[in-house]
């Protein structure tokens, strides 16, 4: 079954430092990969996606992600973290019927 894994439950980073939230996916066909963010008591908001083409994908709020086929990874990155980036981040993969399979989520905490 197609799946994604987020190996870190929580990531802590100081404001102004670069941040990385990790995601790996199971090898099966050409993956369509997505990142979503969830702020407390809110729904999920779309950040960015990889469908095909350039391996470096740029998204909302200064986030980007790099698709790495050899390492089956799609890590989310931002050059300079903000306290307001603190939220729950989900990686997801498209499956049959355009269904999404989500990772378990990574809580990002950005501290002053």
Partner 1 sequence: NAGVTQTPKFQVLKTGQSMTLQCAQDMNHNSMYWYRQDPGMGLRLIYYSASEGTTDKGEVPNGYNVSRLNKREFSLRLESAAPSQTSVYFCASRPWGDGYEQYFGPGTRLTVT
Query: Among 11-19, 33-41, 69-77, 78-86, which window interacts with partner 1 (CB under 8 A)?
Result: 33-41
Using CB under 8 A as the binding rule, whether residue 25 contacts partner 1 is answered as no
The rounded distance, in Å, linking the Cα atoms of 45 and 70 is 28
x/- contact string, 65-94, with partner 1 (CB under 8 A)?
-------------------------x----
- ∠ CA(26), CA(31), CA(33), 5° rounding? 95
How big is the site for partner 1, counted in residues (CB under 8 A)? 22
Q: Are 65 and 75 in contact (CB under 8 A)?
A: yes
Q: Which is nearer to partner 1, 17 or 45 (CB)?
A: 45
Q: Are 60 and 69 in contact (CB under 8 A)?
A: no
Least distance in angstroms from the C-beta of 99 to partner 1: 6
Q: Which residues pair with 67 in a beta bridge?
A: 74
Query: Is 5 strand, coil or helix?
Result: strand
Q: Which residues of the shown chain bind partner 1 in the complex (CB under 8 A)?
A: 9, 32, 34, 36, 41-46, 49, 51, 90, 97-105
């Amino acid at each position: 079954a197609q799946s994604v894994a987020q190996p870190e439950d929580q990531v802590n980073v100081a404001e102004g430092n670069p941040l990385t939230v990790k995601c790996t996916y199971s090898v099966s066909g050409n993956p369509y990969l997505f990142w979503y963010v969830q702020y407390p008591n809110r729904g999920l908001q779309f950040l960015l996606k990889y469908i095909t083409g350039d391996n470096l994908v740029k998204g909302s709020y200064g986030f980007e992600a790099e698709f790495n086929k050899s390492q089956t990874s799609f890590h989310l990155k931002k050059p300079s973290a903000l306290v307001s980036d603190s939220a729950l981040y989900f990686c997801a993969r498209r499956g049959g019927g355009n269904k999404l399979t989500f990772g378990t989520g990574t809580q990002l905490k950005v501290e002053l």
